[in-house]
Chains A and B, each alone.
Chain A
Amino acid sequence: MKKFSKPAWLSGKTAVIGIPYLWLAVCSLVPFLLVLKISFGEMDASGPFGTLTSYVDGVLSLKIKLTNYIYLAMDDLYIIAYLNSIRYAALTTLMCLLIGYPFAYFMARASQSRRNVLMMLVMLPFWTSFLLRIYAWKGMLSNNGVINNFLMSVGAIDAPIHMMNTEFSLMIGMVYSYLPFMILPLFTNLSKLDVRFIEAAADLGSTPWSTFWRVTVPLSKSGIIAGSMLVFIPCVGEFVIPDLLGGPSTIMIGHVMWDEFFSNVDWPMASTVTVVVILGVLIPMGILNKYQSEEEQKL
């Protein structure tokens, strides 16, 4: 019996996969490998692209300097910045969840036509410039900003409350920017929730409060996780918000990388920080990916 190889008309497949693969390799893989390489080197007169390998006397030797990594581990600045980033990202995620979940819930309960309007109203700020909206908060929270002026003009306070460049202003900016990212997946998930589950629970004697915690929340688990990941992961590396609204006490890792690169012009150091952050991101991303593929298997 003759066995058949793949029919000829399927060979265009290689080209179709090849093109995006090449693109992705150039965008993600090559830069990452380069950054990795640079992190092992040091900044010298010719730039950071010193060679790792040298061929001397017929012997190939690999020169990897872990100096940068050791420095990273030992210097307080970096460790504090990392911890800060994770802390603020976690807080932001939590706040977005607490504010966003009821929001998405009540949106999903509205009638079909109202739902579309409500959705549109949430999306509108999203389409408006992110930068401008952060700038707006600067205008609101500054010493000579709207809130302080308003309170002073009605006589509630004598001197402006110092709100800018604090943890408070940072958190407001973060939560404000990332709230739509939490609301969106939650809303999608909750609006698809079959009302009959809730009816069944009620039929079996569950109170609304109990139904909420025992039926609705567990069923919206994938939405919660998706929203949390969409908020937490980018938050860790946020730069613009801490820069405009944060202060010296709220140093985050994005800022550190920026400074190392632009201010200190220490590219290998910046690369080192980058590598560590990438690895720190890869793990939550791996969890998210695994979770998503598990969900897809179930369908």
Chain B
Amino acid sequence: MALTESIKSSVATNTQDKPFLQINNLIKEFGDNRVVKNVSVNINKGEIFALLGSSGCGKSTLLRMLAGFETPTSGEILLDGKNIINDAPYHRPINMMFQSYALFPHLTVWDNIAFGLRREGMAKDEIADRVEKMLALVQLDSFGKRKPHQLSGGQQQRVALARSLAKRPQLLLLDEPLAALDKKLRERTQLELVNIIEQVGVTCVMVTHDQEEAMAMASRIAVMSDGVILQIGKPNDVYETPNCRFVADFIGSVNMFNGAVEVDEPDHVVIRTPECTHYVGHGITGTPGMAVSVAIRPEKISVSADKPAQEHNYVYGEVIELAYLGSYTVYHLKLLSGMIIKANVSNTSRHGAFHPKWGDKLFAHWEDDAMVVLTR
């Protein structure tokens, strides 16, 4: 895992002179409906880039425009410097792994993988060699003669991956790669998938609505909503430093306090909300009186029965809901103002003494650096 992390981060920071894939001002309209609204993204060679968003946000349309199945209304797509916007899908050095796998039912696994190579006019023995290599890559060495309906879901997915990598494309597109798998299989496949892609070294753009999947697999994420990209960054950055309420809310859970800036200093700000006073340990670009939101992740909040020593950054409430999830417990506290906050508390000891129950009154508190101040 650590090795993958280091590879991912090195790739992410290794921005070259010219990004490998440049999407410039891409717009897509279906009649009166503008689905992709002036999107511009730069993707680097060799990175795994995720387009994250809920259904209808335009991410699939964007992916299909990269593949060539939709024609943009305007804009350009530069792959390695060349504008491919007018190229048909069969002329682009791009291959896609479909959500439904789209394996050809009338062909064997071997023929499925060889399909694209045959269209290229590759020599027979070269094709055989490449197909064998692909089967080995996805660990389906002896499955060549089978037909798709004779494979399990996970095996079908691996064939689909092998098929999309067989032609050594410059860009690999993944459309909701893990959506069709059940949870256990999904976790295992996430890692396998990343390993294979990095082993091959291909630039990859994936589309997903599952933020855990995006965070686990991608080196950079773009959060999309309603046809617009809201934020691009490494998973860590997007999670800990969301740039707007939507992103903060979309990724993981978040507690959102709404209030106004009271004190604005270069090294700290004090924000007053109906629930409490927030002392934020860094400066923000803003003015006193400005309306802002303070976002705090549930895992940054600690709970206690006794009042904490600090002056700011704590609230008092009643446990109205608690969910024991094994590795941690989620407490829903109803505050005096009526707001309900969530706190995730790790179960660090097997039989700890502190076990709040429904109806208990607790204090919830957090550190100076746990908050993100959002202005939009």
Residues in A lying within 8 Å of B, measured CB to CB: 1-4, 6-9
Q: Does B10 contact A (CB under 8 A)?
A: no
Cβ-neighbour of B74 out of A2, A6, A7, A9 (below 8 A): A2
A3–B71 touching, CB < 8 Å: no
A4–B71 touching, CB < 8 Å: yes
Q: Give the chain A neighbours of B74 by CB distance below 8 A.
A: 1-4
Cβ-neighbour of A6 out of B27, B71, B72, B85 (below 8 A): B71
Q: Give the chain A neighbours of B72 by CB distance below 8 A.
A: 4
Cβ-neighbour of A9 out of B73, B85, B88 (below 8 A): B88
Q: Give the chain A neighbours of B88 by CB distance below 8 A.
A: 7, 9
Shortest 9 CB-CB distances between A and B: which pairs?
Answer: A1-B74, A9-B88, A7-B71, A3-B74, A4-B71, A2-B74, A7-B86, A7-B88, A4-B72
Q: Give the chain B neighbours of A9 by CB distance below 8 A.
A: 88
Additional A-B contact list (11), CB under 8 Å, known A1-B27, A4-B72 = A1-B25, A1-B74, A3-B73, A4-B71, A4-B73, A4-B74, A4-B85, A4-B86, A7-B71, A8-B86, A9-B88
Q: Does B75 contact A (CB under 8 A)?
A: yes
Interface size on B, residues (CB 8 A): 10
Measured in the bound complex, the distance between the Cα atoms of B85 and A2 in whole Å is: 12
Can you sample 6 A-B contacts with CB below 8 Å?
A: A1-B27, A1-B74, A3-B74, A4-B72, A7-B71, A7-B86
Q: Report the minimum CB–CB distance from A209 to chain B (whole Å).
A: 43
CB-CB nearest in chain A for B91? A9
Once A7-B86, A7-B88, A9-B88 are accepted as A-B contacts, the answer to whether A1 and B75 lie under 8 Å apart by CB is yes
Q: Report the minimum CB–CB distance from B76 to chain A (whole Å).
A: 8
Q: Is the interface of B mostly helix, strand, loop or mixed?
A: loop
Q: Give the chain B neighbours of A8 by CB distance below 8 A.
A: 86
Q: Give the chain B neighbours of A3 by CB distance below 8 A.
A: 73-74
Q: Is the interface of A mostly helix, strand, loop or mixed?
A: loop
Q: Report the minimum CB–CB distance from A6 to chain B (whole Å).
A: 7
Measured in the bound complex, the distance between the Cα atoms of B25 and A3 in whole Å is: 12
Q: Report the minimum CB–CB distance from A257 to chain B (whole Å).
A: 47
Measured in the bound complex, the distance between the Cα atoms of B73 and A235 in whole Å is: 52
Q: List residues 59-97 of chain B with CB under 8 A from any CB of chain A.
A: 71-75, 85-86, 88
Measured in the bound complex, the distance between the Cα atoms of B75 and A3 in whole Å is: 8
Q: Report the minimum CB–CB distance from A12 to chain B (whole Å).
A: 11
Q: List residues 86-138 of chain B with CB under 8 A from any CB of chain A.
A: 86, 88
Measured in the bound complex, the distance between the Cα atoms of B74 and A4 in whole Å is: 7
Q: Give the chain B neighbours of A2 by CB distance below 8 A.
A: 74
Measured in the bound complex, the distance between the Cα atoms of B71 and A7 in whole Å is: 8
CB-CB nearest in chain B for A7? B71
Q: Report the minimum CB–CB distance from B89 to chain A (whole Å).
A: 9
Interface centre among A3, A4, A6, A8 (most CB of B within 10 A): A4
CB-CB nearest in chain A for B25? A1
CB-CB nearest in chain A for B75? A1
Q: Give the chain B neighbours of A1 by CB distance below 8 A.
A: 25, 27, 74-75
Measured in the bound complex, the distance between the Cα atoms of B74 and A3 in whole Å is: 5
CB-CB nearest in chain A for B90? A9
Q: Give the chain A neighbours of B86 by CB distance below 8 A.
A: 4, 7-8
Q: Report the minimum CB–CB distance from B26 to chain A (whole Å).
A: 10
Q: Give the chain A neighbours of B27 by CB distance below 8 A.
A: 1
Measured in the bound complex, the distance between the Cα atoms of B85 and A6 in whole Å is: 12
CB-CB nearest in chain B for A2? B74
Q: Report the minimum CB–CB distance from A13 to chain B (whole Å).
A: 13
Q: Give the chain B neighbours of A4 by CB distance below 8 A.
A: 71-74, 85-86
CB-CB nearest in chain B for A1? B74
Measured in the bound complex, the distance between the Cα atoms of B73 and A102 in whole Å is: 56
CB-CB nearest in chain A for B85? A4
Measured in the bound complex, the distance between the Cα atoms of B92 and A9 in whole Å is: 13
Q: Give the chain A neighbours of B25 by CB distance below 8 A.
A: 1
Measured in the bound complex, the distance between the Cα atoms of B25 and A8 in whole Å is: 23
Question: Per-position contact with A for B7-46: 1 when CB-CB < 8 Å, else 0?
Answer: 0000000000000000001010000000000000000000
CB-CB nearest in chain B for A6? B71
Q: Report the minimum CB–CB distance from A4 to chain B (whole Å).
A: 6
Measured in the bound complex, the distance between the Cα atoms of B106 and A135 in whole Å is: 45
Q: Report the minimum CB–CB distance from A194 to chain B (whole Å).
A: 24
CB-CB nearest in chain A for B38? A1
CB-CB nearest in chain B for A4? B71
Q: Give the chain A neighbours of B71 by CB distance below 8 A.
A: 4, 6-7
Q: Report the minimum CB–CB distance from B188 to chain A (whole Å).
A: 35
Measured in the bound complex, the distance between the Cα atoms of B71 and A298 in whole Å is: 29
Measured in the bound complex, the distance between the Cα atoms of B88 and A7 in whole Å is: 8
Q: Report the minimum CB–CB distance from B250 to chain A (whole Å).
A: 29
Q: List residues 141-179 of chain B with CB under 8 A from any CB of chain A.
A: none
Measured in the bound complex, the distance between the Cα atoms of B75 and A4 in whole Å is: 9
Measured in the bound complex, the distance between the Cα atoms of B27 and A1 in whole Å is: 10
Q: Report the minimum CB–CB distance from B31 to chain A (whole Å).
A: 15
Q: Report the minimum CB–CB distance from A191 to chain B (whole Å).
A: 23
Interface centre among A3, A6, A9 (most CB of B within 10 A): A9
Measured in the bound complex, the distance between the Cα atoms of B85 and A91 in whole Å is: 62
Measured in the bound complex, the distance between the Cα atoms of B88 and A3 in whole Å is: 17
Measured in the bound complex, the distance between the Cα atoms of B115 and A2 in whole Å is: 36
Measured in the bound complex, the distance between the Cα atoms of B73 and A4 in whole Å is: 6
Measured in the bound complex, the distance between the Cα atoms of B85 and A4 in whole Å is: 9
Q: Report the minimum CB–CB distance from B172 to chain A (whole Å).
A: 23
Measured in the bound complex, the distance between the Cα atoms of B86 and A84 in whole Å is: 63
Question: Per-position contact with A for B328-345: 1 when CB-CB < 8 Å, else 0?
Answer: 000000000000000000
CB-CB nearest in chain A for B86? A7
Q: Report the minimum CB–CB distance from B78 to chain A (whole Å).
A: 14
CB-CB nearest in chain B for A3? B74
Measured in the bound complex, the distance between the Cα atoms of B83 and A4 in whole Å is: 13
Measured in the bound complex, the distance between the Cα atoms of B29 and A4 in whole Å is: 12
Measured in the bound complex, the distance between the Cα atoms of B68 and A8 in whole Å is: 13
